């Protein structure tokens, strides 16, 4: 006899008022209401969607990054945070490693995972198309550790930053 189909309505046992979940439940953050947060950098737009302040998130952060053509970062890592980048539009090139010797490209619909402490550089691989991404991080802290590595592709024009790189 399987015990997999026992009653899962245990949430109704909690003593919540009728509108508790209205305030503490699912939140939809409309695209037009993202928070541009800090001063913008020329050539890019950044905005926070999900944070502790905006949605009550404790363990993750999410937002959008729009990077104009030809933007590149310097080498950096994000401490113990995990990062996920989802490419919505355009072409991203990632370089990583102690000498940024590894390279991979990602296009629309692709996910990029950056583990903790990995030295990396983000590049808009297109000379004429904007790169639009969704960024998700495993924490709220604005951790960015800039590294003294000479990038294979020198940073130019603008840096790819996001709202938690204040």
**In-domain check, residue 15:** no
> What pLDDT, on the 0 to 100 scale, is given for residue 10?
46
**In-domain check, residue 137:** yes
**In-domain check, residue 129:** yes
Query: Which structural domain, as residue segments, surrounds residue 64?
Result: 30-146
Instruction: Tell me what the mean pLDDT of segment 144-150 comes to.
Output: 82
Give how many domains the chain has, as a whole number. Answer: 1
> What pLDDT, on the 0 to 100 scale, is given for residue 70?
83
User: How many angstroms from the chain centroid is the CA of residue 63?
Assistant: 6
**In-domain check, residue 12:** no
Structure tokens at 104: 């991979």
User: Which distant-in-sequence residues (6+ apart) come within 8 Å of 132 by Cβ?
Assistant: 64, 65, 66, 67, 87, 88, 89, 90
**In-domain check, residue 164:** no
pLDDT digits (tens, 9 = 90+) for 59-84: 999 988 888 888 887 788 889 999 99
Rg of the chain over Cα atoms, rounded to whole angstroms, equals: 19
3-state secondary structure of 53: helix
Instruction: Tell me what the mean pLDDT of segment 7-21 comes to.
Output: 65
pLDDT digits (tens, 9 = 90+) for 76-111: 888 999 999 999 999 999 999 999 999 999 999 999
Q: In this model, does residue 39 exceed pLDDT 50?
A: no
Where residue 101 falls (left for φ over 0; alpha for ψ -120 to 50; beta otherwise) is: alpha
3-state secondary structure of 2: coil
> What pLDDT, on the 0 to 100 scale, is given for residue 166?
47
- Please tell me the distance from the alpha carbon of residue 102 to that of residue 121, in angstroms, as a whole number: 10
**In-domain check, residue 13:** no
Instruction: Tell me what the mean pLDDT of segment 33-62 comes to.
Output: 75
**CB distance 90 to 131 below 8 Å:** yes
**In-domain check, residue 42:** yes
Lowest mean pLDDT among 20-29, 35-44, 98-107: 35-44
3-state secondary structure of 35: strand
**In-domain check, residue 51:** yes
Question: What CATH number is attached to the domain comprising 133?
Answer: 2.60.120.10
- Please tell me the distance from the alpha carbon of residue 46 to that of residue 51, in angstroms, as a whole number: 14
**In 72-103, which positions are buried (b, 16+ CB within 10 angstroms) versus exposed (e)?**
bbbbbbbeebebbbbbeebbbbbbbeeebeee
Q: Mind giving me the DSSP string for 68-113?
A: -TT-B--SEE-TT--EEEEEEES-EEEEESTTS-EEEEE-TT-EEE
């Amino acid at each position: 006899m399987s015990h997999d189909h026992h009653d899962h309505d245990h949430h109704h046992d909690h003593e919540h008022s009728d509108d508790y979940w209205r305030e503490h439940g699912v939140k939809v953050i409309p695209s037009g209401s993202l928070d541009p947060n800090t001063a913008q950098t020329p050539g890019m737009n950044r905005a926070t969607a999900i944070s502790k302040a905006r949605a009550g998130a404790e363990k993750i952060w999410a937002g959008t990054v729009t990077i104009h053509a030809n933007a590149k970062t310097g080498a950096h890592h994000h401490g113990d945070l995990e990062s996920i980048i989802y490419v919505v539009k355009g072409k991203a090139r990632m370089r990583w490693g102690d000498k940024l010797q590894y390279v991979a490209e990602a296009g629309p619909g692709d996910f990029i995972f950056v583990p903790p402490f990995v030295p990396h550089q983000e590049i808009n691989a297109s000379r004429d198309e904007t790169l639009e991404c969704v960024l998700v991080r495993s924490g709220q802290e604005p951790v960015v550790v800039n590294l003294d590595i000479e990038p294979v592709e020198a940073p130019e024009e603008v840096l790819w930053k996001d709202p938690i790189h204040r």
